[in-house]
Amino acid sequence: MGNVFSIQCGDALIGRCWDCVAGQALYVCQLEDNLQELETARDKLRELSNDVMRMVISEETPQTVQLDRVGGWLSRVDATITEVNSLLNRATRERQKLCLAGCCSKNCKSTYMFGKSVSRSLKHVVGLMSEGEFKEVVIRAPAVQLQANLEALRTARRELWASKQDVKRKVDLEEGQQKKALQQVLLWLSMAEAMITEAEELERDGPQQVQKLLAGDISNYMFVGRVAKKLEDVIALKAKGDFKEVVERTLPEPVVVRNVNPTVGTETTLDEAWSFITGDQVGIFGIYGMGGVGKTTLLTQINNRFATISNNFDVLIWAVVSKDLKLEKIQEQIWKKIGFLDDKWEKKSLREKADDIFHALSRKKFVLLLDDIWQRVDLEEIGVPLPTRQNRCKIVFTTRSYRVGRQMEAENDKSETFGLGRSLGIVSEEGWGY
């Protein structure tokens, strides 16, 4: 008996072989359809190429140049059409090899290779057509483009400078008591200043670069791009400078240190006054004496001590009363410290302002320093809550009249007064009750 060989093939190997054969057969079976589609696609590609070329011819001038990507695309189209024509010229010969209704070939290898080339060319032609939709086919010559951008940059830079001046002027106008510039506004002003400087540098170097480009020197072609980019940045930054608000309201510092000339021998008086203020027994505390003996100086020292010694008060308020008593003026000084003084608040009535002040101070542990009282001040009419054991607030005032001090006593049952003589001695008036 002859030798018998047994060959075992796995399903995976058989599957791969079948896919290979089927894939090759597909190029043969679809050859006729692909040839027709390739011819149609070639004609459309040629038409598109002609359209693009006409656009280039109509738009190209001594001041413009054809885009590199357009020129590259036209070159690839010419090469592709030549290749496609070569394939189509072979089509008649390859068709004659087909049999069985085009599903087989008398020379399978030759027809397969040809069909594969046709399929690839068809895909390539379709891809080129999708790349040929150009919105622009030419651009200005570098020197012309640079000159135009430099002029546009100069205009945009001037507009940015004008906007910066407007914003800065608005900040200067609105910034002040309890108002400060927004951080984003300050950042924008800083960026605008820097960008204006950068634009001016490019403008100075621009004419020399234009002359180089006109002479055919493109060694610093990046300068053209820098100018174009800076133009975009300047325009974008200017658009961001349209601020509806340039300042924000802020609460004042808790303690404003006041200038005071040091007075010899007042430390003891200050310490004793401080003990009344920080203690729990006295809510309203008065300092009286003749003009020039140091009442305001002592009150100022009390004010400044709050800035240097830790305390548990929420806010310290200083208000000057003066001989010509005007409650609205006192309200204004208080509100500057605890609220936001604006036109809307100033138009309110005395009672409405008092309600605002009372509402704000009722939530705080405050010290109110009233300097230079000449007559009784109605704290309730101003809107100041009276000190109590519960709120532990303090009111300190200066006056030339002991009688006025006694009148202020009626405001509160926890009162005390200091009498300042020529030597700044301190006298506790027992007539003021707790």
Per-residue pLDDT of 242-297, as tens digits, reads: 999 998 876 656 777 788 776 655 677 788 878 888 887 778 888 877 777 778 88
Predicted confidence band of residue 18 (pLDDT cuts 50, 70, 90) = very low
Range name among 104-108, 131-135, 250-254, 370-374 with the lowest pLDDT average: 104-108
Q: What single string gives the DSSP state of each residue in 222-290?
A: HHHHHHHHHHHHHHHHHHHT--S--EEE-PPPS---------TT-HHHHHHHHHHHHSSS-SEEEEEES
Residues near 229 by beta carbon (within 8 Å), at least 6 away in sequence: none
Q: Rounded to two decimals, what is the model's pTM?
A: 0.44
When pLDDT is averaged across residues 137-152 and rounded to a whole number, the result is 82
**Helix-strand-coil percent breakdown of the chain, rounded to 5?**
60, 10, 30
Average pLDDT, the chain: 80
Residues near 109 by beta carbon (within 8 Å), at least 6 away in sequence: none
Residue pair 291/422 in contact by the 8 Å Cβ criterion: no
**Eight-state DSSP code of residue 376:** -
Q: Tokens representing 363?
A: 């939530």
Angle between helices 108-131 and 11-29 (to 10 degrees): 70
Residue 318: enclosing H or E segment and its boundaries? strand 315-322
Q: Give ∠ CA 257-261-265 in degrees, rounded to 5.
A: 110
Q: What single string gives the DSSP state of each residue in 67-118?
A: -HHHHHHHHHHHHHHHHHHHHHHHHHHHHTTEETTTTEESSHHHHHHHHHHH
Domain assignments of the chain as residue spans, ordered by start: 11-139, 141-249, 267-428
**pLDDT for the residue 349:** 94
pLDDT for residue 210 is more than 80: yes
pLDDT for residue 178 is more than 70: no
**pLDDT for the residue 143:** 77
Q: Which CATH class is domain 267-428?
A: alpha beta
